[in-house]
Amino acid sequence: MTGAGDGPSGDGPSGDGVSGGGGGGGGAVLRRALGLRTVVSTSAGLAFAALEYLAAAGLVAYVAGDSAWIAVGTAGLLAVVAWGCFSELNGMFPTAAAIRLYMKRSMDDRIALVITFTYLTTIVLVIAADAFIVGSALAHVLGQSSWVAALIIAALLGAAVLSNLRGVKVAGGVQDLATYSVLAVTALVAVAALVRSHRGLRFPLSPLHGHHPGDLLEAVALGVFLFSAFEWVTTSAEEVRRPRDVHRGMLIALAVLAVVCSVVTVAMSHVLGHRQLVSAYPQLFLGRAAFGQAGLWLMAGGTAATAVNTFNGGFITASRFIYATAREGSLPSALARLNDRAVPWVPIVALGVTSLVVSLVVAATGSWSVLVAVGAALEAMIYAVAAFCVVRLRTRLPAQARPFRLPAPRLLGGGAIVVFGVLAAVASVSVANRFNLVPLVVIAAGAGSSALYVLAVLPRVKAADQARRAARGRRRPPPRPVGAPAAGDDRGR
């Protein structure tokens, strides 16, 4: 997979209504202020939520001994194929609404919008489920009731909202600090736990020892979830200083995630027992195995920091996508307003409030595992859709510039459609490794609501947007012919 330069630095192809101006922001536009370091931290931070620890612990049960790293590595290779698809598509459409453009060019626009709005729920679901995990871990460490953890989650969400409202550079700095700290602390704890165990690894190269081949497939499916959401950083394409940093940053993020997750899964399988692995906070037990009580507090701090990088990264990316979709007229124009720091403030506030409400519902119902399954299914679905778009656009838009090209698109793209399609189907009917139709029902409800909006509400939204644009056009005076006197100028009479 090779890049071929930086590609266009503009906002995307003309004529799509998705690029350019600032919507309701009076002509303001997003600022190109993000570098490679923040692209990497945003991509890795969105994937490395507190849910990573639970997925890593769950993966251990499906392989022999300490061979979980093999499943993680295999899943990482699948994620690289997804990276190639998103890199090609982002290079063709380097905008905050890239997903809208390449899906619009690949299929019926109504279907594309339904998929897009359904996919958007992934960020809120991940944030809500992550909030529950963080709250549970903090409540356990502090020995407090759940309402104290709820207050902490509200404070963390509020901090993420405020940092985003102050501008993308501030939000990017917070993202860098939170993500790199979490990854470094997690890797340190995992390595220390392995070293302090004073035992050799068990079956590190034999994942099938005493296991069925189907178990390894289950482990790989869970491994794919460890990398999910890394692609959301593409929605920041209009704020990245060098367009090539998007695909470079995603690849670096995948490599970092593969190393950290591999070490964590091996450490968990090596030092934790079954009861610790199936708890809501296995990372705390891993910290205790590494550094005693100090390690427990260290991992508690790291778990709290995952909330910051997940919330903050989610707001950075999802708000830009909502902004760009509103800018094209597919969402109410109020969502395209920018504040004086070139930040889409309405989507950020809306995401913060929605995430808080959903996280409280999750805490009250304990339904975080259902949301994990829903998020995994939607991520696998969008990976399959991205592969489909790559294959389809090679035929529909053969002449369009592709700064990055996926090699053997029919082979890799076609294979990705099948593999990720199967993974999406499996994830949608299973919870905690048991057959369960609730995730499929949730996804169907989300898709149904999206379809209702697209078919019944969107036509009125677009009509109102067109009327508003027409009214602005009528208020503007017609252009004066070259050489004609200005209004009120009686020279030449």
Kindly state the tokens that stand for 100: 């809208």
Residues 246 and 8: beta-carbon distance below 8 Å: no
What pTM, to 2 d.p., does this model score? 0.77
Give the pLDDT of residue 432.
Answer: 64
Q: Over 80: is that where the pLDDT of 485 sits? A: no
Residues 121 and 446: beta-carbon distance below 8 Å: yes
Strand partners, 289: none
CA–centroid distance for 18 within its chain: 20
Which H helix or E strand runs over 434?
strand 434-435
Q: Over 70: is that where the pLDDT of 192 sits? A: yes
Half-sphere exposure of 305 (CA within 13 A, CB side): 22
| Residue 167 pLDDT level (bands cut at 50, 70, 90) | low
Which residue in the block uniquely carries the two structure tokens 């996280």? Answer: 359
Between CA 383 and CA 29 the distance in angstroms is: 29
Q: Of the given ranges (148-162, 186-200, 262-276, 384-398), which has the lowest mean pLDDT? A: 148-162
Between CA 127 and CA 65 the distance in angstroms is: 32
| Residue 31 pLDDT level (bands cut at 50, 70, 90) | low
User: In this predicted model, which residue has the larger pLDDT, 456 or 22?
Assistant: 456
Between CA 344 and CA 315 the distance in angstroms is: 10
Give the pLDDT of residue 9.
Answer: 37
Query: Which top CATH class is 45-463?
Result: mainly alpha
Domain borders along the chain are 45-463
Angle ∠(95,250,6) on CA atoms, nearest 5: 55
Residue-wise pLDDT for 33-67, tens only, equals 677 888 898 888 878 878 788 888 888 877 766 78
Transcribe 43-112 into DSSP letters.
HHHHH-STHHHHHHHHHHTTSSTT-HHHHHHHHHHHHHHHHHHHHHHHHHS-STTHHHHHHHHHS-HHHH
Q: Over 50: is that where the pLDDT of 493 sits? A: no
Integer CA distances (angstroms), 380 to 78, 132, 345, 375, 420, in order: 11, 23, 30, 9, 5
Q: Of the given ranges (151-165, 238-252, 343-357, 473-487), which has the lowest mean pLDDT? A: 473-487
Transcribe 122-160 into DSSP letters.
HHHHHHHHHHHHHHHHHHHHHT--HHHHHHHHHHHHHHH
